[in-house]
Amino acid sequence: MSSSDGMDLEDRSADPRWQLVERISATEPFRKSPRFRDLLRYLAERTLNGGNPEELTERAIGQAVFGKPADYSPTEDSTVRVHVRQLRLKLHEYFDTAGREEKTVLEVPKGGFMPVFQEVRPTAQVASQAKDQALLESTSRAAIVRHRWLVPALMSAVALLAIGCTILLYRLESVSKVKVAPWPISMLVSPAASTTIVTADANFTMQNLLLQRYRSLSEYLDPSHSAALNLKTSNPGERDLADYISGSSLTSSADAVISAKLASIFGAFQGQVSVRSARDLHPRDFDSGNFIIVGSATSNPWASMFQGQLNFEEDTGLHHNVWKNKSPKADEQATYECLTSTGSTGTGYADIALLPGNGTHTAVLILQGCVQEGTESTASYLFDQTGQNDLIKALGLSAPPSTPVYFEALIKTEAIAGAPGTTTVVATRLIQPKN
């Protein structure tokens, strides 16, 4: 039996690389997301079948995996780019968790769609060599009686080899377990404090649309306000929708991707990171620990709790938002226009802020955009080395600070059909912690 593209299925099933793809596809994240499983298998098939990177285009993937028409425009439809970007995160998560003992790593390098299979030398293999060395030492002792003159040389060799294995094992374990989070995220990494990533509440936005106004944080926390939403209309369908969004918890796919990426770069401290919905928090939760708030006050009401410490404030309207500059400098604007809606093309602005937390030696990182692309651009800016360097330079620093430096930065992003593009820092403020 052979596949439609000519690849022999029996040969493919015997290929260790395809077996790796099958193991990844069988994990829960891919079982729950058939589209990502299909995307992974399609890309892997083309690679193992000797496909040409030039032929594995965004258009071809869109047609084969997502059922796009032959004349669809990848420039206007970012489905493939978004899913491939999320696939990279899912693969990274697999090899950090269930697949950490794999002998081969599968990656989809940025800038293309062709997967790469890379052989690695896992820690377990070095540990096995250490066991073999112990056996060698045991066998050597049995030979001592017959070959006493070999004892000094043999034991010296055994000792040197054992030391070498120990050093190599330690180094490999150190590389796999210890990862230095980039600044400013490193300011939230501490063995003494947990970090909570707070995702936006999509239902909050829908409730505001039903009410035709944005609610305050206190209203958001008051159960009576949510319960009263279904009294605002006589339309049965709208009442059912109000009931549903009052009792459910939803977030955007972008927030989910950002949260997964944030958690992954905590390295050895991932166990201290948790992800919670905005709806599941209470003001007293902020009394201790570090927090990362994903989304602006229009989608994540907890961002408004820190607005008094910031210079740039989102001036909210249900259909058009701007960033208001409370104290403009000579070369700054009084307002900065946001993108009109998610999925837009054009110039938009977003805000990154690092503030001192309420607990001892803790911090709060806020990533907020008026629309989804803005929030996504703030996160991408922090994950990218170039973005980190730009931020450090814009703040007047020569290197990532070793001591806490609190700041706010307004960034500009050029979005194309819902995908954030080039980002630059346009204004910054250093923030002095209150005594």
Decide if 91 is inside a domain: yes
DSSP state of 334: S
Residue 317 lies in a domain: yes
For residues 189 and 137, membership in a common domain is answered with no
Asked if residue 394 and residue 266 are part of one domain, the reply reads yes
In 10 A of CB 157, how many CB atoms?
A: 13
Question: Residues 114, 46: contact at Cβ < 8 Å?
Answer: yes
Residues 355 and 371 in one domain: yes
Is 219 a member of any domain?
A: no
Average pLDDT of the residues in 295-318: 88
Mean pLDDT calculated for residue range 267-271 = 77
Residue in 50, 49, 29, 46 with CA at minimum distance from that of residue 93: 29
With tokens 């930065």, the residue in question is 409
Instruction: Give the C-alpha distances (Å, rounded to integers) separating 328 from 123, 311, 312, 332, 426.
Output: 55, 9, 10, 6, 12
Cα-based angle 407, 409, 415 (whole degrees, multiple of 5)? 155
Percent pLDDT > 90 in the chain is 22
Q: Which of these ranges, 212-221, 300-309, 351-360, has the smallest mean pLDDT?
A: 212-221
Percent of the chain clearing pLDDT 70 (strictly above): 76
Q: Which residues pair with 324 in a beta bridge?
A: 313, 335
Among 247, 243, 219, 216, which residue's Cα sits nearest to residue 231? 243
Does residue 166 surpass a pLDDT of 50?
Answer: no
Q: Which domain holds residue 96?
A: 9-119
In 3D, which of 419, 403, 434 has the Cα closest to residue 184? 403
User: Within a domain: residue 220?
Assistant: no
159: number of CA atoms within 13 Å, CB side?
6
More confident residue, 22 or 261: 22
My answer on whether omega of the bond before 236 falls inside 30° of 0, hence cis, is: no
For residues 192 and 271, state if they share a domain.
yes
Whether 258 is covered by a domain: the verdict is: yes
Q: Based on the number of CB atoms within 10 Å of its own CB, is 363 exposed (0-12), middle (13-18) or buried (19 or more)? A: buried
pLDDT for the residue numbered 175: 38
Question: Residue 344's pLDDT is what?
Answer: 72
Q: Is the pLDDT of residue 367 over 70?
A: yes
- Over residues 79-132, the pLDDT tens digits come to 888 888 888 888 888 888 888 888 899 988 877 888 888 886 444 444 444 444
Residues 273 and 420 in one domain: yes
State the pLDDT confidence band at 324, using cuts at 50, 70 and 90: very high
What pLDDT does 352 receive? Answer: 95
pLDDT of 226 reads 57
Both structure tokens of 46 = 């083309």
Give CA–CA dist 30/36, Å, rounded.
Answer: 6
Confidence grade of residue 317 (pLDDT, cut at 50, 70, 90)? low
Task: Examine the domain organization and report whether 134 and 254 are in the same domain.
Answer: no
Residue that the structure tokens 């194309």 belong to = 416
pLDDT of residue 229: 58
Distance CA 277, CA 292 (A): 12
Are residues 301 and 272 located together in one domain of the fold? yes
Residue 207 forms part of a structural domain? no
Q: How many domains does the chain have?
A: 3
**Residue 148 pLDDT level (bands cut at 50, 70, 90):** very low
Q: 399: Cβ–Cβ under 8 A, 6 or more apart, which residues?
A: 392
Residues 318 and 364 reside in one and the same domain: yes
pLDDT in tens, 375-414: 888 887 788 788 888 999 999 998 888 888 999 999 998 8
Phi then psi dihedrals of residue 193, to 5 deg: -145, 140
- Can you give the pLDDT at residue 23? 92
pLDDT per residue as tens digits for the range 19-48:
999 999 999 888 888 888 999 999 999 888
Is a pLDDT exceeding 70 seen at residue 230? no
Residue 35 inside a domain? The answer is yes
Clarify whether residues 193 and 324 are in a common domain: yes
Task: Give the separation between CA 162 and CA 157, rounded to whole angstroms.
Answer: 9
Question: Token digits for 352?
Answer: 């990154």
Q: Which amino acid is at 349?
A: Y
**How many Å apart are CA 432 and CA 416, to the nearest integer?**
36
Task: Check whether residue 28 and residue 110 sit in a common domain.
Answer: yes
- 239 or 357, which is more confident: 357
Digit-coded pLDDT (tens) for 45-81: 988 888 777 788 888 998 999 888 888 888 777 788 8
- Tell me, yes or no, whether 108 and 70 share the same domain: yes
Average pLDDT along the chain:
77
Average pLDDT for residues 158-168, to the nearest whole number? 41
